[in-house]
Structure 1
């Protein structure tokens, strides 16, 4: 039986159906499709601004400025975004004048032998620095871009997180270009890369600098766990043997020892700041700023909001809980449900 014939698109030489290259001109007989990359980020700019002036109550604005008191109209308190199964939610909180958090996520499809690969980053601006939201936005977006580039090239979750850390570090430092390094924008950074092969094996790597966190929340009966270790004075004291409820630990709870920015180390992350797990069974990966874990520090407490819930509903419930518990800080949450495959 003769193999079905075709012709080379470059030189028109007859070729067999199973031929990969033309024997005459050497040209490829098919093109491998490039991976497709998509991305989202919050808070988004340019959202419609609604409601009266928060300072004087006036309803009239011109070019974004109140015609009564002259103050600039503030961005909406809440922003959400969804990409595939991933949900991002961020809220200004009740006591901050602006949202200094940021989050970004991306997805790579079309890598041979893999299901969709995911990348997520959450950043929390260091309030003692100048314009910290600039560092948060720059680092979260650049970190995800670095991870996506690695994942599109079939990199592992570990190499992707390292690539993201390098890009986020550079972006946060450049966000303060021209500023005094001692006061330039700075932020925390927690990120994850998720790689699932076509056989259902899901590998998750997280990396962090500062005290934003990542949690793995598997379905029962498996136990939820915190995947990151805070870079904070409190954590150093507890590692040295101090009790978690001691005065010194509580006082140093939010004094971070590592961060991203112009005044950070060239390599601000520690080798122990990266963790890789293989997800066994379904569950959710959750990343958050301390605006959430201030009120829900334990993985088991957070897991109750995610179990059996749609990721959007879970993210909203977690943000609302933080607001009702005090809302003293900006709140950012990323929820990623994970099953046998993504």
Structure 2
């Protein structure tokens, strides 16, 4: 669902980084390593692109759509950058274990003029990758920064995983390349009319395999583990408040009450320090749902239990991740929708296909 681009990985690529190789290349132009050709596993990459508006409401099915909104339930319909929805299926070939279906939704919210969030997702046999980026509103051109970082990060991440890189290594490479791409936007702007524009964004990405969930982040976009016996926040914000609490300078109550609480201490952009992403691996012990999101969601629902409660209102979030993602976005909008809202959901483990046997697992 949603316009998308696919990397089918049907060409010979570098065995170190996954970049395509020309037959005459002696060294990989991507990583500089000596030629080590490899044919990677199939993968499908879905990027944050608008599509034509639907004729029926994507949520309630009503036919009355007026100026992009459903006349029955009021939901903004996907069609432009204001509302984007993507749904991810497993690749057509290869053994599939672990997560395989996933979905993402990005909405402009109720108080912003444009959507400066972006989401990109990819699937490989037994693995799902998700990237969410949030443009820094105070930095000109940050919508472009978020889109560039999400697409670059997801493409590099997918190629690395496809040639066998372990998730932490692939994630670090994805963050590094995304950061370079965002810096390039500032260089382009300096040669044009934008002058000293320095686009900036946050970055959070996750790789869910059959055995583990690995996340990497820069900024205050988050990843959560939900609907399990161990709901938890998997990331730690790069913000002034978190830094002050970590240093013991302030209590959490004092830090979050300060006007500087949400100031970023790390981001992607030409004016950022050397980017050192945080990387963490989580091993699930029971079925659950991986959530990757911007602060437009967690700013209203910061606690894992509150987010899990929203998912509990969806009859089968593991089997219908797009419906679950819509429910989370709607919850943020109902709470005020003061910012752009973006979520990516990955059920874990993979929800069985219709012809597969099912088994019940307690929450």
Same fold (TM over 0.5): yes
TM-score (norm 2): 0.70
Partners of 2:283 and 2:182 in 1: CA distance: 30
- Which one of the candidate residues 209, 217, 230 is aligned to 1:208? 217
- CA offset at residue 176 of structure 1? 2.4
Write out aligned runs for 1:170-249 (5 A): 170-180=180-190, 183-196=197-210, 202-219=211-228, 222-241=229-248, 242-246=250-254, 249=257
- 1:261 maps to 269
Question: What is the total number of aligned residue pairs between the two structures?
Answer: 275
Aligned to 1:199: none
CA distance in 2, matches of 1:40, 1:288: 17
Question: Which residue in the other structure is 1:97 paired with?
Answer: 113
**Maintained 8 Å contact 1:284/1:306:** no
Task: State the alpha-carbon separation in 1 of the partners of residues 150 and 184 from structure 2.
Answer: 13
SS at structure 2 position matched to 1:337? strand
Q: Which residue of 2 aligns with 1:302?
A: 307
Distance, in Å, in 2 between the alignment partners of 1:336 and 1:224 is 14
Residue pair 1:106, 1:120 contacting (<8 A) in 2 also:
yes
SS in 2 for 1:170: helix
Q: How far is 1:131 from its partner?
A: 1.4
Unpaired runs of 5+ residues, structure 1, are 1-31, 55-73, 110-115, 197-201
SS at match of 1:36: coil
Q: Show structure 2 runs of 5+ residues with no match.
A: 1-37, 55-64, 70-78, 90-100, 353-363
Q: Are 2:150 and 1:162 aligned?
A: no
SS at match of 1:121: strand
What's the CA shift string for 1:261-297, capped at 9, x where partnerless? 12222x3124xx1101112221010000000001111
- Label 1:235 to 1:186 Cα distance change in 2 as closer, same or farther (>3 A): same
Deviation, structure 1 residue 206: 0.4
Q: CA offset at residue 191 of structure 1?
A: 0.4
Looking at structure 1, the residues matched to 309 and 262 of structure 2 have their Cα atoms a distance apart, in angstroms, of 25
Contact 1:90 1:332 in 2 (8 A): yes
- Give the 5 Å matches for 1:1-342: 34-42=40-48, 44-45=49-50, 47-48=52-53, 75=80, 77-84=82-89, 85-109=101-125, 116-180=126-190, 183-196=197-210, 202-219=211-228, 222-241=229-248, 242-246=250-254, 249-265=257-273, 267-270=274-277, 273-307=278-312, 308-309=316-317, 310-339=320-349
Paired with 1:89 and 1:338, the residues of 2 have a C-alpha distance of 18
TM-score of the superposed pair, with normalisation by structure 1: 0.74
Kindly state the Cα deviation for residue 53 of structure 1 after the two structures are TM-superposed: 10
